[in-house]
Structure 1
Amino acid sequence: MAMQTELDVYIRARYPLLWVVTPEEKRALATIDRLAQQQRKRLLVWSVTTGIHNPALPDRFDSSKRDPLTLLAAILEDPEPGIWVLRDFHPFLRDAAVVRRLREVAFGLEASPKTVILLGPVLKIPPELEKEITVVDFNLPTAEQLGQMLDQIIASLEQHEAVEVSLDRRQRGRLIQACLGLTEQEAANAVAKAVVQAGGRLDGDAIEAVTAEKQQIIRKSGLLEFYASEERLANVGGLDVLKEWLRKRVRAFSDEARAFGLPEPKGILLVGVQGCGKSLVAKSVANSWRLPLLRLDVGRLFSSLVGSSEENLRNAIRVAESIAPVVLWVDEIEKGFSGVGSSNVSDAGTAARVFGSFITWLQEKQAPVFVIATANSVEQLPPELVRKGRFDEIFFVDLPDIEERREIWKIHLRKRNRDPEQFDLHSLAMASDGLSGAEIEQAVIAGLYEAFDKNRPLETTDLLDVLQETVPLSQMMQEEIDALRAWARQRARPASSRRPFG
C-alpha cells in the first residue's frame, strides 16, 4: 500500500505530472480509482484507441480526443478538479510538439486541483520534462496481496467439484513465496497452469509451474540466463572450507534465520585457477539451496546508445530482485569490467558508470539476491570490487592436491556409470599432479573414447595413457598461478584446508 499512500500525497500536494511505471495496468488503475473516490475527484482515463473514458460511466467513450495534442488542450481547458490517466503515452513523447504541449500542461496545472498521471511499463522521460515529472514505481504484489489472491482462486476452485485443492499451511506459504516477483496476472496464470497440469488438482507441485513462469520473465528480459542446474555440492571435489561455509547458510533465506537475527548473505567472490570448480560451485549452490540460478553476462549490458548500458543494468537487477530469493552468477567478472580505469578515454565513462552502479548495488542491496562472482585474472580485477562489504567472503580456489584429485576421479568416473573401485585411483591421482578438475574430466572423456574405439571396457591404463599426453594448464601458466597465489595470501580465504595457497 506504500505506492497508494505516495500517490495520495502527491495528488493532495497538487503535483501536476506523475509517471507511474508498471506493467500491471489493471491493478494500478484500480488503485488510482480508489484514490479518486477517497478524494472525491473525477477520474478520466485516456488511450489512443478509445479516447477519454470515465470508469463511473462504463458505456461512454469520447473518441474525439484520441489525438494527443487535442487531449492535452482538453485537460488545460477542463474547469473541474480531476485525475487524468494517460495510458501508454510514452511513444508520443518523441514528438517535439507533444513534449512542448505537455510542459505547458505542467505549467498550467501548478496549484490546480487537476493531476495528470502517465501510466505505462516504460520510463523514457525527455530531457525537457525531467524537472516537471515525478516518477512513482508501482511495486509488484506483496506476499500478503498474493495470499489474498490465492485465497480467492482457491475459493473459486472449491466451488467446482472437479478441482481438488490439497495445500497444507507450509505448501501454501511456499507457493506464495514462489509467486513473489510475478505480477498478479502472471501469478494467477501460473496457478491455473498448475491445476491443468496436475489434472484438476492444486497441490505442492504448483511451485514448479510458478518457476516455469519465472523462466519466461527471465527469457523475455534478454539480459539474464536461467540455469536449471542439477549439480550438487557432493559432485564438487575438495574445497571443504568453502563447502562447509555454504552448508551453514542453507537456511539463510528462511523466516527462522530472520527471527534469529541473522541478515541475509550478500554473496561470495571466487578467485582462482581456471577449471578448478568455481562455476561448478555456483551451479551447485543454487541446487543445494533450492533457489533459481541466474547468470548475468556483463557483456550484454553494454549498448551503443548513451544511457542504455546503465538502464540495462537496472533492468537486470530489477528482474533478479523480482524473483528473489535467487542466486545470481556473474562469471569471469574481471573480463566484463576490465578497462574501468581507462573508461573515460575509451567509452566516455560508460564502463565506469555501470561498474559503479553495480558495486553500489552489491553494497546496499536489500533483496535476497546471493551473488556468486568468479574471476580467473586478478590483474584485471578492479580494486573497488574486493573491498570489504561488497561480498561476505572472498575465496581462493587452487589446484587440487592428491586426495582431492582422488575424489575428483571418483566423481567423474561415477558420473559416467563406472565403478571407481575398479580403477587404481592412487595411481591416477599421482599421475594427474598439476591438473585441474576440468582437465581430469577431459582425461576421463578421452579415455572413454580410446576404450570405445577398441570396443572394450574403460581401464586404468587408458586413463594413464591420456595423462602422459596431457600438458597441464598449470605448467603453461606457472608464473600467472604463482602471482595469483601471492595475491590471494593477502586478500582471500583458502577454499580448501588441504592446500592453502599452494
Structure 2
Amino acid sequence: MNNSNGSADDLEMLIRSRYPVINIISFEEERVLRHLHTIAERRNKKIYTWSFNTGIVPSGLTDQSVKKVDSATRDPLQALDRVISNIEPAIFVFYDFHPFMGNRNFSVIRRLREVAAALKNSYKTLVIITPTMCICEDLSKDVTVIDYPLPDTAVIGDMLNQIIEQVKDNPQIKINLDDESRELLLQAALGLTLNEAENVFARALVLHSGLSAESIPVVLDEKRQIIRKSGILEYYEAQDDFAQIGGLDLLKDWLWKRSFAFSDNAREFGLPPPKGALFLGIQGCGKSLCAKAVAAAWKMPLLRFDAGRLFESALGSTEANLRRSLLTAESVSPCILWIDEIEKAFGSGGSSANTDGGTSARIFGTLLTWLAEKRAPVFVIATANNIERLPPELLRKGRFDEIFFVDLPNCVEREDIFRLKIAGRSREPELFDLKQLAVASDGFSGAEIEEAVISALYDSYYAGHDLAQDELVAAIKNTVPLSRTLGEEISRLREWCSGRARPASTPEAGSVGPASKLEM
C-alpha cells in the first residue's frame, strides 16, 4: 500500500502520474471535491460521483436531475463496471464505499483489483473518500492512500474574510480583530474542518455580536467536543497560568520563550514548532501543574492522555487506540498533549513480550516514531517520577526538546508557594511570617505545603478563629514529608539527573547542583 503525507499538491501529482485507485482519508468531502474539480479543469477531465443513494452521476447535478439518472449503478459492482467501461478521461469520486471493501466482501475486492489493473494505462482515476483508512491486505498493493490535510491558516483566513465581508454592513456586528488577535483566532481554528471553522465563527458572531479576541475560547470549546469523542484523551480546563506556580523560574522562562514559536513570524524566522519537554522529578513538586499552566499561558487546548483507557484485550485494538489518539491530537493542533507518569504507561515497553504478547513494546515503538517524526504543532509534555522504569530510547535527543529535573523547592520557592497558597484561601499573605514558614518546611514539596495550609485551616475553623501563624507552624511540624520517607530514592534521583537533565529552578546560593542538597 503506497502512502502519502497528504499535501494538496500530492493529489494532483498522483492523478497526473496515472495512479489508478486513490483512497483519500478525509471527513471533508465537499472540500476534496472542489479540489478535484480544480484539477479536472486543468487536466481537461470530467468528474463523476458515486454514492449508494444516487449511483454514478455527473458531479454538480441538482437533486431533481439525479432522480432521472439510471440507478442501476447504485450496486457497487455495477458502479465499478461503469468505471472500467467509461471511455473519456475522467475522475470517479466514490463516497461511503468503505463498507463494501471489508475483508469478507470478496467480489468487490476482486473487482477493485481489476479496476486498478484496467485504469493503470488510461486517463481515468478512481478516488475513494473515506473518513478513516480501511484498506484490507488484499488491496494494499493496488490502492494508494493519501491523508488529505486539514485547512491551514491561509485557507481558514480566506473563509474568515468572506464571513467578515458578508457582515460588514450589519450595524449590530462589530469586528474587532487586530493582526495579533486575528492570528491567534486562526491558530485556534487549526485542526478544524472548514465547515467546523465556519460554524464556530458563526457561533462566535452570535454569542459576542462580532469577532474579537473573546472569540478564541469559543473556538477552543469546539475542539473540546472533538476531543471528547475520542474516548481516550481528556480535555482539561486550564485555569492557572505561570503566575500561580511558585518557583521553577528556569522552566517557566524556557516554556514562555517557546510560546511565541507557533506564529507565522516564527516560521518566517526559521523556527520549527517546539516538540515538547520531559519533566522528571519528585512527586508533588509541580510537574503536572506546569503542564496545565502551559496550556493557559499559550491559550491552547490541553489534552491528557489516559493510558488506562488505551489497553484492550482484542488483538490490535490497543495499537488502534493509540493511533487514533495521536491522530486526534494532530487534528486539533496546535495543542498540548500531556502524558502523565509516562513510565507507568510505556515504561515496560522493552520487556513486555512475555507478559502481554508484545503489545506494550509495539505501542511504545509507535509513540517513539511519532515523537520523532510528527509535523503537526503538538507540544508534548511528559512527566515521570521513577526514572528507573524509563526506557533509554525515550531520553534520547530528538524525542523531546529538553529534559528538566524538578526538585524539591528551595527556601525562596517555598516562601513563594506559601504566599500563593494562603492567598488562594482568601487570606492576606502579608499577615504571616512567610520566611519562618519556609524555613520550618524544609524538605516539603509544593503539594505538601498546600496540604499543611489546608490542615491549619481545619484546626483554625475548629478552634473558632481565623487562620493564624501558630496553626500553620503546628501543621508543618505534624507533617512527615516524602523527602524523609523516601530520602534514599530522592538522593538517587538527584544523582541520576545531575548532568543528564536541566534544572527547573535556579540553585540556591552555595548550592553546586541537585545532588548537593541535604538528604532528608
Common fold: TM-score over 0.5: yes
SS of the residue 2:493 aligns to: helix
The question of 1:353 aligning with 2:354 is answered no
What are the residue-to-residue correspondences of 1:79-94 with 2, within 5 Å?
79-94=87-102
Q: Of 212, 236, 246, which residue of structure 2 is paired with 1:237?
A: 246
Q: 1:116 to 1:263 in 2, by over 3 A?
A: closer
Amino acid at match of 2:58: N
Aligned-residue offset at 1:160: 4.1
| Partner residue of 2:462 out of 450, 453, 457 | 453
Per the alignment, residue 227 of structure 1 pairs with 236
Matched, 1:364 2:373: yes
The answer to whether structure 1 residue 173 and structure 2 residue 173 are counterparts is: no
Report the alpha carbon displacement of residue 259 of structure 1 after superposing the two structures with TM. Answer: 4.2
For structure 1, list consecutive stretches of 5 or more residues without a partner in the other structure.
Answer: none
Distance 1:202 1:398, change over 3 A: closer
- SS of the aligned residue for 2:246 comes to coil
Query: How far is the alpha carbon of 1:309 from its aligned partner?
Result: 3.4
* 1:335 to partner: Cα distance: 0.7
8 Å contact from structure 1 (residues 227, 294) kept in 2: yes
Q: For the residues of structure 2 that align with 1:171 and 1:399, how far apart are their CA atoms? A: 38
Letter in 1 for 2:124: K
Deviation digits for residues 118-144 of structure 1, max 9, x if unmatched?
112111111111111001221111222
CA distance change for structure 1 residues 334 and 42 in 2, over 3 Å: closer, same or farther?
same
Contact 2:8 2:149 survives alignment (8 Å): no
Please report how far the alpha carbon of residue 3 of structure 1 lies from its aligned counterpart in structure 2 after TM superposition: 4.4
Contact 2:220 2:300 in 1 (8 A): no
Per mean C-alpha deviation after superposition, the further-off stretch among 222-231 and 270-279 is 222-231
Structure 2 counterpart SS, 1:341: helix
State which drifts further: 244-253 or 180-189: 244-253
Of 110, 114, 123, the match for 1:113: 123
Tell me the secondary structure at the aligned position of residue 491 of structure 1: coil
**1:161 Cα deviation (Å)?**
4.6
Report what 1:484 is aligned to.
493
Task: Tell me the TM-score normalized by structure 1.
Answer: 0.93
Q: CA deviation at 1:80?
A: 4.0
The change in CA–CA distance for 1:67 and 1:455 in structure 2 (over 3 A counts) is farther
Deviations 1:282-334 (A, max 9, x none): 11122223333222223433343444433433333333333333222211111
Contact 2:188 2:300 in 1 (8 A): no
Deviations 1:43-82 (A, max 9, x none): 2211112222212543134322222233223333444442
Indicate how the Cα distance of structure 1 residues 491 and 36 shifts in structure 2: closer, same or farther if over 3 A, else same: same
Deviation, 1:451, is 1.7
Deviation at 1:374, TM superposition (A): 0.7
Structure 2 unmatched runs, 5+: 1-5
AA aligned opposite 1:68: P
**Aligned-partner SS, 2:154:** helix
CA distance in 2, matches of 1:294, 1:451: 38
Matched, 1:97 2:107: yes
- How far apart, CA to CA, are the structure 1 residues paired with 2:159 and 2:304? 31
Q: Distance in 2 between matches of 1:82 and 1:301?
A: 43
Residue 433 of structure 2 aligns with an amino acid whose one-letter code is D
Q: How far apart are 1:162 and its partner, in Å?
A: 4.2
Aligned-pair identity (%): 50
For 1:413, which of 400, 422, 425 is the aligned residue? Answer: 422
* 1:70-109 deviation per Cα after TM superposition (whole angstroms, max 9, x unaligned): 3223333444442221101111222233222322322333
Query: 76-85 vs 145-154, which deviates more?
Result: 76-85
Matches within 5 A, 1:96-495: 96-199=106-209, 201-495=210-504
Q: In 2, distance between residues paired with 1:413 and 1:239?
A: 19
| 8 Å CA contact 1:4, 1:35 repeated in 2 | no
**1: distance between equivalents of 2:258 and 2:249?**
15
Q: Structure 2: how far apart are the matches of 1:439 and 1:377?
A: 19
Paired residue secondary structure (1:328): strand
Aligned counterparts of 1:3 and 1:228: Cα–Cα separation in 2:
33
SS in 2 for 1:83: strand
CA offset at residue 390 of structure 1? 2.1
RMSD: 2.3
> Which secondary structure state, in structure 2, belongs to the residue aligned with residue 334 of structure 1?
helix
Which letter maps to 1:182?
A: L
Rounded to whole Å, the distance in 1 between the matches of 2:460 and 2:243 is 27
2:3 maps to what in 1? none
Change (3 A) 1:403 1:150: closer
* Residues 245/144 of structure 1: CA separation in 2 closer, same or farther (3 Å cut): closer
Contact 2:334–2:376, Cα closer than 8 Å, also in 1: yes
Note the C-alpha offset of 1:187: 0.8
What is the Cα deviation at residue 408 of structure 1?
1.5
- Runs of 4+ more than 6 Å apart: none
Are residues 1:15 and 2:19 paired? yes
Q: Which moved more, 1:170-179 or 1:207-216?
A: 170-179
Report if the CA contact (8 A) 1:47-1:88 is conserved. yes
Following the alignment from structure 1 to structure 2, what is the Cα–Cα distance between the partners of residues 39 and 257? 37
CA distance in 2: counterparts of 1:386 and 1:262, whole angstroms: 23
TM, length-normalised to structure 2: 0.90
The residue type equivalent to 1:108 in the other structure is: A
Counterpart residue type for residue 139 of structure 1: P
| Paired position in structure 2 for 1:75 | 83
- Identify the residue that residue 37 of structure 1 maps to in structure 2: 41
Aligned CA distance change for structure 1 residues 264 and 3 (closer, same or farther; 3 Å)? closer
- Whichever residue aligns with residue 397 of structure 2, its letter is K
Q: Secondary structure at the match of 1:467?
A: helix
Distance in 2 of aligned mates of 1:295 and 1:135? 30
Given that 2:278 and 2:400 are in contact with CA atoms closer than 8 Å, whether structure 1 keeps it comes out as yes
Aligned 8 A contact 2:287 2:406 in 1: yes
Structure 1 pair 209–478 and aligned structure 2 pair: CA distance change class (3 A): same
Deviations 1:376-420, CA, capped at 9 Å, x for gaps = 001110111111232222111112233322222111111111112
Q: Shift of the alpha carbon at 1:17?
A: 1.2
Q: How many residues align?
A: 501
Q: Distance in 2 between matches of 1:277 and 1:439?
A: 11
CA distance in 2, matches of 1:214, 1:342: 37
Query: Which range moved further: 346-355 or 332-341?
Result: 346-355
The verdict on how the C-alpha distance between 1:411 and 1:21 changes in structure 2, with shifts beyond 3 A counting, is: same
